[in-house]
Structure 1
Amino acid sequence: MSVSAPRPEWIAVDWGTSHLRLWRMPRSGVALDRTDSDKGMGRLTRDQFEPVLLDLVQNDLPAEGHLTVICCGMAGSRQGWSEARYLAVPSAPPSIAQATHVQTRSPSLSVHILPGLSQASPADVMRGEETQISGFLSTEPDFDGVLCLPGTHSKWAHVSAGEVVSFRTFMTGELFALLSGQSVLRHSLASSGLDPESFSGAVAHVMSRPEGLAGDLFSLRAESLLSGLDATAARSRLSGLLIGAELAAARSYWLGRDIVIAGESGIASAYQIALAAQGADPRMVDAEEMTLNGLRAAYAQLREHAL
């Protein structure tokens, strides 16, 4: 006799620009499983979001009532499913009471999209990272320091007394992708790999003279042509130059503060190496667990409101 798979009580979704991650959540809060899809916001028109979600949860829809779905990320952008407002900092991470309740065609869905955060000067916005911050604060409510959230657009958020005081976004990951994939430098770079010595040297160099970044970038191409610069070393130096320039610009955030990096490998490790070389002592936490904790907190608020 076959045993049917357990049904989730609710669905957690991190809906980004290029991908979405969906977790089927029971009341215990321990995800039954995770589904990854390439149906990110950037590939969808507004009327395609609901069919995509229904396709992913069709086996979980109840015979009566509705399935609760809590989303964070770009589904709430102006180009997304339904625009969720920004809350201006300083502010606590958004709660479920401030979420946008999406008008769905299917009565079997009840979808809530959490708001982002905004900053007037310097102008800045975030969507998705605020839920990570909420998840982190759910485990460390008294944290006073800086969260570094690496990614395509990395964020530095100053957190104190349960609020995001200020934040700054850097397009470091996107610049790396553009320069390594579309610029003249693409001919000189390996497709993967990290040479720690080349990376750290580039970080230190650009932090001492960040105004020379544009020239230092072209030197990678020139050294490749004139001196046969190793392709892995060139890739590592490109990464080091860009992350080092970011650290130089974000110095007021991390210098002398408790620093937590969201991530455990890959690009997060590169930030840890770069910061440690500057005398900082960052620690790392699991970014996915931060996101899930933030979505769990929102669902707990929803249940408490319903009782």
Structure 2
Amino acid sequence: MKNVFGKIILVTLLACALAFRPGDVLTDLKLSSEQVGEQVFNQLTAERPVLGLPSESRKIARQLSASMRVASVRALYTVSRAYVQSDDFRTRYDRWMRSKYHVDAGNMPPVEVSSDELRVAQEAQLAQVLATFSTMTPQMLSLMLPQQMATIQQQMREADAPTKAALTRDILVLRDIQPLATANPSEFKTRYLAFMKRSLTQQMGQGREAEEERRVQVREKVEDYQHRLAMYRANADPNLAIKKRLSAFITLAESVDFNAETILQGHKTEFVRADYRLQSAEWKQLYRLGREPVLIARDLARGWLSELN
């Protein structure tokens, strides 16, 4: 008889366990694990998270008995914990965090080139250009003058006053040496190469000034990126957000007065106390859910928070 009684208890416990399986409870609430996971992700990432469960699920939940609401809370807790421990959640959360702080690969600042490296590169380039020009005959160099002067005149149309004055001087120099191409080719080549060296050196100097301005901007971007990267690293662990939400929920749950009186005003139920009417939608939502499931949820949150701490 004792053995039979033990079997009856075992069967009863098994039946209860099966009755409160998370999957079954979610099915009863017309919810999927994906929907619960989406709500959990929203709670951890949204600036002002809201509970966006389907209206049918909310309607079913309001019709549940207190014991079934408790079972539902436990089921949702189990599914939520499983989700935040999944690789899918961790990957998605990290992707969201990188996007939030703009620290993905596409937002990395460019590698900065030092002033010395730029100067050496420019000097090498200048030497190479002049070496190429020095191998050309005076006649070949003279053929470059018309296009070169046309280019300078085009630049003058869009230049500011100081730049236009400098370009005007260049035009005058080229016009002055142009006749030497036939009258004294050797002198023409010497003066033309000197002009090109001076002109290219000035251009490279202007380029270094522009590069220095760009370098300042790059340094600012690097500093900003390093700051954002530090913020990302300091907040990348999803457990930080989980602990924050759990603490907020515990505080909210403990503030709810489940003995608060209500009155019917027209077609709407209102709290008797005016300050309760001003409470947040989340506070009122917990009030409607009822003492037992909310306190169970609070205790589960406390246990989870204790583990994380």
Q: TM-score, normalised by structure 1?
A: 0.22
Which structure is higher in helix share?
2
Q: Which has the larger radius of gyration?
A: 2
User: Using CA pairs below 8 Å that are at least 6 residues apart, which structure has the higher relative contact order?
Assistant: 2
Higher strand share: 1
Q: Output the TM-score relative to the length of structure 2.
A: 0.22
